Amino acid sequence: MTAHPGIFITFEGIDGSGKSTQARRLAEVLTGAGFDVVLTREPGGSEGAEQIRSLVLEGDPDRWSPETEILLFTAARRDHMEKRIWPALKAGKIVISDRFADSTRLYQGLSRGDLRAQVDRLHEMMIGTEPDVTFVIDMDPGIGLARAKSRQTSEERFEDFGEDLQLKMRQGFLDLARTHPDRFIVVNGTRSMDAVAEDVRALALDRLAQTASG
Ligand code: ADP
Ligand code: TYD
Protein backbone atom coordinates (compact mmCIF):
# COMPACT_ATOMS: atom_id res chain seq x y z
CA MET A 1 0.00 0.00 0.00
CA THR A 2 1.33 3.45 -0.90
CA ALA A 3 1.95 5.68 2.11
CA HIS A 4 0.01 8.94 1.94
CA PRO A 5 -0.82 11.74 4.37
CA GLY A 6 -4.62 11.56 3.82
CA ILE A 7 -7.27 9.45 5.56
CA PHE A 8 -9.42 7.02 3.58
CA ILE A 9 -12.83 6.11 5.05
CA THR A 10 -15.30 3.75 3.35
CA PHE A 11 -18.91 2.74 4.00
CA GLU A 12 -20.04 -0.79 3.21
CA GLY A 13 -23.15 -2.87 3.74
CA ILE A 14 -26.09 -4.36 1.91
CA ASP A 15 -28.28 -2.39 -0.50
CA GLY A 16 -30.49 0.15 1.26
CA SER A 17 -28.66 -0.06 4.61
CA GLY A 18 -28.09 3.70 4.76
CA LYS A 19 -24.50 3.97 3.49
CA SER A 20 -25.08 7.00 1.23
CA THR A 21 -26.99 8.82 3.97
CA GLN A 22 -24.28 8.16 6.55
CA ALA A 23 -21.37 8.92 4.19
CA ARG A 24 -22.96 12.30 3.39
CA ARG A 25 -23.65 13.09 7.04
CA LEU A 26 -20.09 12.23 8.09
CA ALA A 27 -18.73 14.38 5.25
CA GLU A 28 -20.85 17.29 6.53
CA VAL A 29 -19.69 16.84 10.11
CA LEU A 30 -16.00 16.58 9.22
CA THR A 31 -16.19 19.53 6.82
CA GLY A 32 -17.85 21.53 9.62
CA ALA A 33 -14.99 20.53 11.93
CA GLY A 34 -12.52 22.07 9.48
CA PHE A 35 -11.27 18.99 7.61
CA ASP A 36 -10.78 19.00 3.84
CA VAL A 37 -13.17 16.24 2.71
CA VAL A 38 -13.81 14.53 -0.63
CA LEU A 39 -17.10 12.60 -0.71
CA THR A 40 -17.35 10.00 -3.45
CA ARG A 41 -18.96 6.68 -4.35
CA GLU A 42 -18.47 3.41 -6.20
CA PRO A 43 -19.08 2.17 -8.75
CA GLY A 44 -18.36 5.63 -10.13
CA GLY A 45 -16.73 8.69 -8.60
CA SER A 46 -14.91 9.78 -11.78
CA GLU A 47 -16.25 10.47 -15.25
CA GLY A 48 -15.01 7.20 -16.77
CA ALA A 49 -16.08 5.15 -13.76
CA GLU A 50 -19.59 6.65 -13.86
CA GLN A 51 -19.85 5.46 -17.47
CA ILE A 52 -18.87 1.95 -16.40
CA ARG A 53 -21.44 2.25 -13.55
CA SER A 54 -24.36 2.24 -15.95
CA LEU A 55 -22.91 -0.81 -17.74
CA VAL A 56 -22.76 -2.83 -14.52
CA LEU A 57 -25.88 -1.64 -12.70
CA GLU A 58 -28.47 -1.57 -15.47
CA GLY A 59 -29.97 -4.34 -17.53
CA ASP A 60 -30.40 -8.06 -17.19
CA PRO A 61 -28.91 -9.73 -14.07
CA ASP A 62 -27.11 -12.22 -16.38
CA ARG A 63 -25.74 -9.52 -18.66
CA TRP A 64 -22.09 -10.12 -17.62
CA SER A 65 -20.22 -13.25 -16.61
CA PRO A 66 -18.82 -13.10 -13.06
CA GLU A 67 -15.26 -12.77 -14.42
CA THR A 68 -16.16 -9.91 -16.79
CA GLU A 69 -17.90 -8.18 -13.93
CA ILE A 70 -14.76 -8.31 -11.76
CA LEU A 71 -12.82 -6.65 -14.58
CA LEU A 72 -15.45 -3.94 -15.08
CA PHE A 73 -15.66 -3.01 -11.38
CA THR A 74 -11.86 -3.03 -11.11
CA ALA A 75 -11.50 -0.90 -14.25
CA ALA A 76 -13.96 1.61 -12.80
CA ARG A 77 -12.05 1.61 -9.50
CA ARG A 78 -8.66 2.13 -11.19
CA ASP A 79 -9.99 5.23 -12.99
CA HIS A 80 -11.51 6.49 -9.73
CA MET A 81 -8.17 5.99 -7.93
CA GLU A 82 -6.15 7.75 -10.63
CA LYS A 83 -8.48 10.71 -11.08
CA ARG A 84 -9.79 11.35 -7.56
CA ILE A 85 -8.75 9.15 -4.65
CA TRP A 86 -4.96 9.04 -4.98
CA PRO A 87 -4.61 12.78 -5.72
CA ALA A 88 -6.83 13.65 -2.71
CA LEU A 89 -4.97 11.29 -0.34
CA LYS A 90 -1.61 12.61 -1.54
CA ALA A 91 -2.87 16.14 -0.80
CA GLY A 92 -3.67 15.07 2.79
CA LYS A 93 -7.47 15.15 2.42
CA ILE A 94 -10.06 12.89 4.01
CA VAL A 95 -11.68 10.73 1.32
CA ILE A 96 -15.06 9.20 2.17
CA SER A 97 -16.29 6.60 -0.31
CA ASP A 98 -19.76 5.06 -0.39
CA ARG A 99 -18.63 1.47 -1.18
CA PHE A 100 -15.16 0.33 -2.26
CA ALA A 101 -13.17 -2.88 -2.77
CA ASP A 102 -14.90 -4.87 0.00
CA SER A 103 -18.06 -4.73 -2.15
CA THR A 104 -16.15 -6.42 -4.99
CA ARG A 105 -14.70 -8.99 -2.57
CA LEU A 106 -18.25 -9.98 -1.63
CA TYR A 107 -20.58 -9.21 -4.56
CA GLN A 108 -18.19 -10.49 -7.24
CA GLY A 109 -16.12 -12.77 -4.99
CA LEU A 110 -18.97 -14.69 -3.38
CA SER A 111 -22.27 -14.22 -5.14
CA ARG A 112 -21.81 -16.42 -8.19
CA GLY A 113 -19.22 -19.04 -7.26
CA ASP A 114 -16.05 -18.59 -5.25
CA LEU A 115 -13.99 -15.98 -7.11
CA ARG A 116 -12.53 -14.29 -4.05
CA ALA A 117 -8.91 -15.24 -4.90
CA GLN A 118 -9.19 -13.66 -8.36
CA VAL A 119 -10.72 -10.49 -6.88
CA ASP A 120 -7.91 -10.23 -4.33
CA ARG A 121 -5.17 -10.82 -6.91
CA LEU A 122 -6.55 -8.19 -9.27
CA HIS A 123 -6.96 -5.74 -6.39
CA GLU A 124 -3.37 -6.22 -5.33
CA MET A 125 -2.12 -5.78 -8.88
CA MET A 126 -4.24 -2.81 -9.97
CA ILE A 127 -5.42 -0.94 -6.85
CA GLY A 128 -3.20 -1.79 -3.87
CA THR A 129 -4.81 0.75 -1.54
CA GLU A 130 -6.97 -0.25 1.45
CA PRO A 131 -9.10 2.14 3.50
CA ASP A 132 -7.89 3.28 6.93
CA VAL A 133 -11.39 2.84 8.37
CA THR A 134 -14.41 0.94 7.02
CA PHE A 135 -17.88 1.35 8.52
CA VAL A 136 -20.25 -1.56 7.92
CA ILE A 137 -23.84 -0.38 8.29
CA ASP A 138 -25.41 -3.65 9.39
CA MET A 139 -29.06 -4.58 9.10
CA ASP A 140 -31.60 -7.21 8.24
CA PRO A 141 -31.80 -7.61 4.43
CA GLY A 142 -35.63 -7.44 4.44
CA ILE A 143 -35.49 -3.86 5.74
CA GLY A 144 -32.61 -2.85 3.48
CA LEU A 145 -34.19 -4.23 0.33
CA ALA A 146 -37.52 -2.54 1.06
CA ARG A 147 -35.71 0.79 1.49
CA ALA A 148 -33.61 0.25 -1.66
CA LYS A 149 -36.62 -0.76 -3.77
CA SER A 150 -38.59 2.30 -2.65
CA ARG A 151 -36.04 4.42 -4.53
CA GLN A 152 -37.38 3.32 -7.96
CA THR A 153 -34.26 3.67 -10.09
CA SER A 154 -33.12 1.72 -13.14
CA GLU A 155 -29.99 0.61 -11.23
CA GLU A 156 -31.52 -2.60 -9.95
CA ARG A 157 -29.37 -5.33 -11.44
CA PHE A 158 -28.02 -6.42 -8.06
CA GLU A 159 -31.22 -5.78 -6.12
CA ASP A 160 -32.87 -8.14 -8.64
CA PHE A 161 -30.66 -11.00 -7.42
CA GLY A 162 -32.98 -10.99 -4.37
CA GLU A 163 -32.93 -11.38 -0.61
CA ASP A 164 -30.80 -14.57 -0.52
CA LEU A 165 -27.92 -12.67 -2.08
CA GLN A 166 -28.35 -9.86 0.48
CA LEU A 167 -28.28 -12.39 3.33
CA LYS A 168 -25.02 -13.81 2.00
CA MET A 169 -23.57 -10.31 1.58
CA ARG A 170 -24.55 -9.31 5.12
CA GLN A 171 -22.79 -12.37 6.53
CA GLY A 172 -19.80 -11.67 4.28
CA PHE A 173 -19.42 -8.10 5.59
CA LEU A 174 -19.64 -9.33 9.20
CA ASP A 175 -17.02 -12.02 8.48
CA LEU A 176 -14.68 -9.47 6.88
CA ALA A 177 -15.12 -7.21 9.90
CA ARG A 178 -14.25 -10.05 12.25
CA THR A 179 -11.13 -10.89 10.23
CA HIS A 180 -9.88 -7.27 10.13
CA PRO A 181 -10.95 -5.68 13.43
CA ASP A 182 -8.27 -2.99 13.09
CA ARG A 183 -9.95 -1.57 9.97
CA PHE A 184 -13.68 -2.34 10.34
CA ILE A 185 -16.33 -0.82 12.59
CA VAL A 186 -19.79 -2.43 12.54
CA VAL A 187 -22.70 -0.09 13.26
CA ASN A 188 -26.32 -1.16 13.83
CA GLY A 189 -28.23 0.47 10.94
CA THR A 190 -31.77 -0.38 12.03
CA ARG A 191 -32.01 2.70 14.27
CA SER A 192 -32.97 6.24 13.28
CA MET A 193 -30.72 8.12 10.86
CA ASP A 194 -29.71 10.51 13.67
CA ALA A 195 -28.77 7.71 16.08
CA VAL A 196 -26.63 5.96 13.46
CA ALA A 197 -25.03 9.27 12.41
CA GLU A 198 -24.13 10.10 16.02
CA ASP A 199 -22.35 6.73 16.44
CA VAL A 200 -20.50 7.16 13.16
CA ARG A 201 -19.46 10.70 14.07
CA ALA A 202 -18.10 9.73 17.49
CA LEU A 203 -16.29 6.64 16.19
CA ALA A 204 -14.78 8.48 13.23
CA LEU A 205 -13.49 11.36 15.38
CA ASP A 206 -12.02 8.80 17.77
CA ARG A 207 -10.17 7.04 14.92
CA LEU A 208 -8.97 10.37 13.51
CA ALA A 209 -7.57 11.31 16.92
CA GLN A 210 -5.79 7.93 17.15
CA THR A 211 -4.36 8.36 13.64
CA ALA A 212 -3.14 11.87 14.45
CA SER A 213 -1.41 10.71 17.64
CA GLY A 214 -0.05 7.44 16.19
P1 ADP B 1 -27.66 2.82 0.74
O2 ADP B 1 -26.72 3.86 0.24
O3 ADP B 1 -27.04 1.89 1.72
O4 ADP B 1 -28.38 2.09 -0.34
P5 ADP B 1 -29.38 5.06 1.50
O6 ADP B 1 -28.61 5.95 2.40
O7 ADP B 1 -29.52 5.46 0.06
O8 ADP B 1 -28.79 3.57 1.58
O9 ADP B 1 -30.81 4.82 2.15
C10 ADP B 1 -31.82 4.07 1.49
C11 ADP B 1 -33.19 4.68 1.82
O12 ADP B 1 -33.46 4.50 3.22
C13 ADP B 1 -33.25 6.17 1.56
O14 ADP B 1 -34.55 6.48 1.12
C15 ADP B 1 -32.96 6.80 2.93
O16 ADP B 1 -33.57 8.06 3.07
C17 ADP B 1 -33.58 5.76 3.88
N18 ADP B 1 -32.84 5.64 5.15
C19 ADP B 1 -31.49 5.73 5.34
N20 ADP B 1 -31.17 5.54 6.65
C21 ADP B 1 -32.33 5.33 7.30
C22 ADP B 1 -32.67 5.07 8.68
N23 ADP B 1 -31.74 4.99 9.65
N24 ADP B 1 -33.98 4.91 8.97
C25 ADP B 1 -34.92 4.96 8.01
N26 ADP B 1 -34.68 5.21 6.70
C27 ADP B 1 -33.40 5.39 6.33
P1 TYD C 1 -24.91 1.26 -4.71
O2 TYD C 1 -25.22 2.35 -5.66
O3 TYD C 1 -24.04 1.57 -3.54
O4 TYD C 1 -26.27 0.58 -4.27
P5 TYD C 1 -27.08 0.68 -2.92
O6 TYD C 1 -27.24 2.17 -2.64
O7 TYD C 1 -28.37 0.00 -3.28
O8 TYD C 1 -26.33 -0.02 -1.86
O9 TYD C 1 -24.27 0.04 -5.47
C10 TYD C 1 -24.97 -0.56 -6.51
C11 TYD C 1 -24.73 -2.05 -6.56
O12 TYD C 1 -23.40 -2.32 -7.00
C13 TYD C 1 -24.90 -2.75 -5.24
O14 TYD C 1 -25.94 -3.70 -5.39
C15 TYD C 1 -23.60 -3.46 -5.02
C16 TYD C 1 -22.95 -3.47 -6.36
N17 TYD C 1 -21.47 -3.44 -6.34
C18 TYD C 1 -20.78 -4.58 -6.72
O19 TYD C 1 -21.39 -5.61 -7.05
N20 TYD C 1 -19.42 -4.58 -6.72
C21 TYD C 1 -18.70 -3.47 -6.37
O22 TYD C 1 -17.46 -3.48 -6.39
C23 TYD C 1 -19.43 -2.28 -5.99
C24 TYD C 1 -18.68 -1.03 -5.62
C25 TYD C 1 -20.82 -2.31 -6.00
Looking at residue 28, its pLDDT comes to 98
Averaged pLDDT, 34-62? 96
Q: How far is the CA of 192 from the centre of ligand 1 (A)?
A: 10
Averaged pLDDT, 11-18? 95
Query: How sure is the predictor about 213, in pLDDT bands with cuts at 50, 70 and 90?
Result: confident
User: 3-class secondary structure for 26-94?
Assistant: HHHHHHHCCCCEEEEECCCCCHHHHHHHHHHHCCCCCCCCHHHHHHHHHHHHHHHHHHHHHHHHHCCCE
Is the Cβ–Cβ distance between 12 and 169 less than 8 Å?
no
Binding pocket residue ranges, ligand 1, CB within 6 Å: 13, 15-21, 147-148, 151, 192-193, 196
Give the closest ligand to the alpha carbon of residue 189.
Answer: 1
Looking at residue 76, its pLDDT comes to 98
Q: How far is the CA of 212 from the centre of ligand 2 (A)?
A: 31
The ligand 2 atom nearest the CA atom of 155:
10
Q: Is the pLDDT of residue 104 over 90?
A: yes
pTM of the model: 0.96
Q: Is the pLDDT of residue 22 over 90?
A: yes
Give the closest ligand to the alpha carbon of residue 195.
Answer: 1
Query: How sure is the predictor about 161, in pLDDT bands with cuts at 50, 70 and 90?
Result: low
Averaged pLDDT, 63-85? 97
Looking at residue 115, its pLDDT comes to 97
Give the closest ligand to the alpha carbon of residue 105.
Answer: 2
Looking at residue 1, its pLDDT comes to 46
Q: How far is the CA of 214 from the centre of ligand 1 (A)?
A: 34
Q: In residues, how long is the chain?
A: 214
Q: What is the mean pLDDT of the chain?
A: 93
Q: How far is the CA of 146 from the centre of ligand 1 (A)?
A: 10
Q: Is the pLDDT of residue 160 over 70?
A: no
* Amino acid sitting at position 90: K
The ligand 1 atom nearest the CA atom of 150:
14
**Distance in angstroms between the alpha carbons of the first and the last residue of the chain:** 18
Q: Which one-letter DSSP state was computed for residue 187?
A: E
Looking at residue 148, its pLDDT comes to 81
Averaged pLDDT, 152-181? 86
Is the Cβ–Cβ distance between 176 and 105 less than 8 Å?
yes
CA distance 165 to 108: 11
Q: How far is the CA of 122 from the centre of ligand 1 (A)?
A: 31
Give the closest ligand to the alpha carbon of residue 165.
Answer: 2
Averaged pLDDT, 180-187? 97
Q: Is the pLDDT of residue 10 over 90?
A: yes
The ligand 1 atom nearest the CA atom of 24:
6
pLDDT tens digits along 132-159? 999 999 999 989 888 887 877 777 777 6
Looking at residue 211, its pLDDT comes to 80
Among 1, 4, 20, CA closest to 200: 20
